[in-house]
Amino acid sequence: MRTSKSTPSFLHFVEKLSISMMVSWKQHKEITFFKDIKGFTLKVMVKHLLSIEPEEPLALKILQDFETFMRGFVSLPIYIPGTAYVNAVKDVGFTRGDFLDVILSKRSLNDEEIVCIVSDIMLGGYETTATLLALLIYFLGHAPNVFQKLKEEHEAIRKRKEDGELMNWEDYEMEFTSKVIYESMRCGIVVKFVHRRALKDVQYKGYFIPAGWKVLPVCTGVHLDPSRHENRTEFNPCRWTDKASYKKVMPFGGGPLLCPGPGLAKVEISFFLHHLVLNY
């Protein structure tokens, strides 16, 4: 899920989608931010992965199917008719006639492999990005000085642009915005732990881990480690001025199983924040 300078149309798509959300929100006194932002991130994913326009009926069907899947994903795996788990199991079969068919002709994989790949990528690029955005807004709401500095950065970008001119890759170089995103990932800890399996017997700090056992490194232990982060509970984006700070967190996992879409997530969040801080 890499983004590159060869796809300015994708940047424009993300920005136009962000603008449409701002216009929609201005028509309401109250909004359900997390619900709306999940719709935003899913629309970006179906466009980026499957080249489906958000207004197409198929995109709406995918959103419904994936919401059903997510409710079952975090539920108890008890097979009782009518429960979220059972509905999700049934939905896996139904979705084959929807977005899976779109990519069947593009991949030399069997159905099970396609389901796994799409589910993993959609889960990583949809739910986690939406959760991070919601947490980021929460942190900004409790740090007015950070919000003001963020707004000043985006006002400076807007002053360089003509009226109605969309942003480009040069505008994406948002130094303070990047710090805000990383600090939100550190404090929010969207992914609480990562799944790993021991490929061979391991001795670690006096513990014996047999081959085949699952190991779940907990990110909280790294992100809130007082020996690594001064004033660990403080939301302070300026700590990322020190480049060494980037080696003290693991928001995207690590090793061969590093999250494939950190660039995409940062583009979504940066462009969305640009219009949010300038409109509210």
Is pLDDT above 70 for 219?
yes
Look up the pTM and report it: 0.75
Biggest alpha carbon distance in the chain?
63
Q: Which domains does the chain have, with CATH numbers?
A: 8-188+259-279 (1.10.630.10)
At 172, is the pLDDT very low, low, confident or very high (cuts 50, 70, 90)? confident
Q: Average pLDDT over the chain, rounded to whole? A: 78
Q: Whose CA is closest to 236, among 177, 178, 183? A: 183
Q: What is the pLDDT of residues 60-98, one digit of tens each?
A: 777 777 666 666 554 455 556 666 555 555 555 444 444
pLDDT higher at 21 or 192: 21
Annotated binding-site residue? 219:
no
